[in-house]
């Protein structure tokens, strides 16, 4: 945890050296809207799925992981993997009540030094063309996140292909928290390149750090459909790596404010004080305890 906190502090200092002005575009001037109770509750199954990804693969494969599994009791696991170190835990399965294949990635395991090193490796690099065919080399991502995603990508793709066929569905939902959110966003770019065009995607992630450069954020906005990245109160993780280092968030932010209102923040890195970038200008005004939640009552990395 010390390594992670030091890395976040270093990145925050770098990001604060250049204070970006609000982008004067129509998109960022759109009204910030408050989510209804029904809109908030619709996210809750995915919060439990994201939290379950912290559980050992042997348990998620049996769907016997305590509170998180009980919350989505009809889920049918297909595959799981990872070692919680160099390769984060992951699992794939099918939820009949939602009629979707679910892909979930474990977040940062603070007991694993290797996982912390993945977070500390924040240099931008082009995506592997063998995994991301046709993607421009100008689209760059956090090299540590990309290296970690590459380890599980082929196994996850194979499991998703099998689950789509077995359960006769065309829907895929991708979720994760923290580092798992970053891996999920990369999967949201990767999987559509290898699955039939008829496949539809939803991506719901929590505590997402910035994953790539401006070209990456623009690509996500243009090609990743139905994306929400949910930030809790004054969580400092979503403001790193800094924009001064060339990192940018895509659109789709939902921010849980201190009064527990959930708001939709239009545009990329919306600087309104109702959104995470404006509310948490640097990690020194952030609260790392907010990172694990609660997200509508769900605490990440608990209940296994």
Which residues are known catalytic residues?
178, 235, 291
Closest CA to 212 of 203, 221, 204: 221
Whole-Å CA distances, 134 to 193, 217, 250, 287: 9, 16, 20, 40
CB atoms within 10 A of CB 123: 12
Task: Enter the tokens of residue 37.
Answer: 């109770």
| Beta-carbon-side half-sphere exposure of residue 152 (alpha carbons within 13 Å) | 32
CB atoms within 10 A of CB 33: 12
CA–CA gap between residue 286 and residue 279 (Å, rounded): 9
Q: What residues contact residue 291 under an 8 Å CB cut-off, 6+ apart?
A: 178, 207, 232, 235, 236, 237, 300
Write the DSSP symbol of residue 127: P
Task: Enter the tokens of residue 220.
Answer: 């996500």
């Amino acid at each position: 945890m010390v390594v992670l906190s030091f890395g976040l502090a270093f990145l925050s200092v770098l990001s604060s050296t250049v204070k970006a002005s609000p982008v004067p575009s129509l998109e960022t001037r759109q009204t910030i809207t408050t989510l209804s109770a029904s809109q908030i509750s619709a996210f809750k199954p995915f919060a439990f799925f994201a939290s379950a990804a912290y559980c050992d693969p042997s348990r998620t494969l049996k769907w016997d992981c305590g509170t998180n599994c009980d919350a989505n009791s009809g889920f049918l696991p297909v595959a799981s993997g990872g070692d919680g170190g160099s390769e984060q835990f992951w699992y794939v399965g099918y939820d009949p009540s939602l009629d979707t294949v679910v892909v979930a990635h474990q977040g940062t395991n603070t007991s694993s030094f290797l996982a912390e090193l993945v977070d500390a490796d924040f240099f931008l690099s082009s995506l592997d063309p063998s995994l991301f065919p046709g993607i421009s080399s100008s689209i760059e991502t956090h090299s540590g996140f990309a290296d970690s995603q590459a380890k599980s990508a082929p196994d996850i793709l194979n499991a998703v292909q099998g689950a789509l066929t077995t359960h006769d569905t065309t829907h895929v939902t991708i979720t994760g928290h923290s580092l798992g959110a970053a891996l999920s966003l990369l999967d949201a770019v990767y999987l559509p390149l290898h699955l039939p065009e008829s496949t539809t995607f939803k991506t719901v992630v929590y505590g997402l750090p910035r994953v790539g450069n401006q070209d990456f954020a623009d690509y996500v906005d243009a090609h990743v459909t139905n994306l929400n990245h949910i930030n809790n109160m004054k969580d400092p993780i979503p403001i790193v790596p800094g924009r001064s280092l060339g990192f940018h968030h895509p659109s789709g932010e939902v921010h849980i404010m201190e009064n527990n209102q959930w708001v939709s923040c239009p545009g990329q890195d919306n600087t309104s004080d109702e959104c995470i970038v404006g509310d948490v200008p640097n990690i020194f005004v952030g609260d790392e305890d907010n990172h694990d939640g609660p997200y509508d009552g769900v605490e990440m990395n608990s209940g296994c």
